[in-house]
Amino acid sequence: MKYEVLHLLKENSETFLSGQLISEKLGVSRTSIWKYIKSLKEEGYMIDSSSKKGYRLIVSPDALTFEEIKKYLNTKYIGKKIIHFESINSTNDKAKELAEQGADDGTIIISEEQVGGKGRLGRLWCSPKYKGIWLSIILRPNINPMKAPEITQIAAAAMIESLKEFDINAKVKWPNDIIIEGKKVCGILTEMSGELNRVNYVIVGIGINANLDKGDFSKDLLDKATSLKIEINSNVDRKALVGTLLNKFEYLYKEFQEKGKIGFSIKICKDNSAVIGKNIKIIKNTDESYAKALDLDEGGGLIVQYEDGSVEKLISGEVSIRGLNKYI
Ligand code: BT5
């Protein structure tokens, strides 16, 4: 009911709505309305209240709640449920917990801050409060578990396409980084629970450095990480970016669900690749080798050619790559 009150206020933000009118429209007492307004104010909504005129919404908070994101969404099921936290350990871990409890396909976990944000292989992901977009998507695809890593390429493609809508050109550093001018602005962590030939669920974690300032990064991250704000010199609308990302993701994911293919996503990742055609260093556990990145195959594997001429397909999840001089 609280959000029905909010909805009315949003629809009528030009004028005051009297408590009487809201109470008649929603069929609840004026005391309850007063309580809902108080609770909305606690959530960060700035609401002008006047005993004579009633209530008027002045400013909505910059919060990544379903209420704030829904106007940007045109998806069928991704993001129809958004579970929002002020602070959490890791949205991927929370998503796993909820997926185990039966959360629906397409449920989103989003947090304003992560205190234990994760990268791949147990690495840490810096996730300061209100500055970025830290979210996880719960998916329940009917696929062979071997194909789960392909979802990382779908997320990367959705990210590239979304940033284009904000006039930002970024590139994919295979397999899971989005970079601008050689620095990482977004990372993707896809995790799966399954059996030999069946997937229980997949969690796609996406971390976007939206409005971080240089001071939000630790010293060792500064030369390899950046934010959208740093690159374009202005804040990005986090709510609109989440909505756009989920719309693009659902569209690209549909091909995977219906045909088991990711052709559209691969094309986007190839056209915007930071590595294809470049000489790279390949890091597998502690081994390092040098090769030239040639192409992406239809499953999102990176085809590389070593100095001795031999060609190999790298599967995401196993390896990291670097440019020869800097991060890429
Ligand atoms: C990744 O791992 O890039 C995957 C990051 C996924 C983060 C999201 S946020 C929502 C969801 N919930 C989670 O707990 N995680 C996901 P990897 O390729 O292993 O890169 C990790 C490395 O990136 C670290 O070792 C740092 O060097 C660097 N790094 C850490 N925080 C960063 C940041 N905010 N921006 C750029 N680079 C960062």
Alpha helices (H) along 174-280:
219-222, 228-232, 238-259, 263-271
C-alpha distances (whole Å) from 223 to each of 14, 35, 169, 182, 220 are 46, 48, 19, 9, 7
Going by the DSSP 8-state scheme, the letter that residue 78 receives in this structure is T
Predicted confidence at residue 328, as pLDDT, reads: 60
Predicted confidence at residue 101, as pLDDT, reads: 98
Predicted confidence at residue 60, as pLDDT, reads: 92
Predicted confidence at residue 320, as pLDDT, reads: 77
Asked whether 296 and 276 are in contact (CB, 8 A), the reply is yes
**What are the start and end residues of each CATH 1.10.10.10 domain in the chain?**
2-59
Query: How far apart, in whole angstroms, are the C-alpha atoms of residue 243 and residue 133?
Result: 11
**Residue 80, annotated ligand binder?**
no
Residue 210: exposed, middle, or buried by beta-carbon count in 10 A (0-12, 13-18, 19+)? buried
For each of the chain's 328 residues, which pLDDT tens digit applies?
A: 899 999 999 999 889 999 999 999 999 999 999 999 999 999 899 999 988 899 999 999 999 999 999 999 999 999 999 999 999 999 999 999 999 999 999 999 999 999 999 999 889 999 999 999 999 999 999 999 999 999 999 999 999 999 999 999 999 999 999 999 999 999 999 999 999 899 999 999 999 999 999 999 999 999 999 999 999 999 999 999 999 999 999 999 999 999 999 999 999 999 999 999 999 999 888 888 999 999 999 999 999 999 999 999 998 766 778 877 665 6
Atom of ligand 1 nearest to the CA of 91: 12
Asked whether 172 and 273 are in contact (CB, 8 A), the reply is yes
Asked whether 239 and 208 are in contact (CB, 8 A), the reply is no
Q: Which of 115, 125, 220 is the pocket-test mutation for ligand 1 (most atoms within 8 Å of CB)?
A: 125
The architecture of the domain spanning 2-59 is Orthogonal Bundle (1.10)
**What are the start and end residues of each CATH 2.30.30.100 domain in the chain?**
279-323
Q: How many CA atoms lie within 13 A of 92 on its CB side?
A: 22
CATH topology of domain 279-323: SH3 type barrels. (2.30.30)
CATH topology of domain 66-271: BirA Bifunctional Protein; domain 2 (3.30.930)
Alpha carbon nearest to ligand 1 atom 7, residue:
207
Evaluate the omega torsion of the peptide bond into residue 175 and state whether it is cis, within 30 degrees of 0. Answer: yes
**Residue 90, annotated ligand binder?**
yes
Pocket of ligand 1 (CB under 6 A): 90-92, 114, 117-121, 123-127, 134-136, 176-177, 184, 187-189, 205-207, 209, 221, 225
Predicted confidence at residue 314, as pLDDT, reads: 92
**What are the start and end residues of each CATH 3.30.930.10 domain in the chain?**
66-271
Which pairs with CB-CB distance under 8 Å and at least 24 residues apart come from 18-24? 18/53, 18/54, 18/55, 19/54, 19/55, 20/54, 21/54, 22/54, 22/55
Asked whether 155 and 133 are in contact (CB, 8 A), the reply is no
The sign of the dihedral angle between the CA atoms of 254, 260, 266, 267 is negative
Atom of ligand 1 nearest to the CA of 225: 36
Predicted confidence at residue 108, as pLDDT, reads: 98
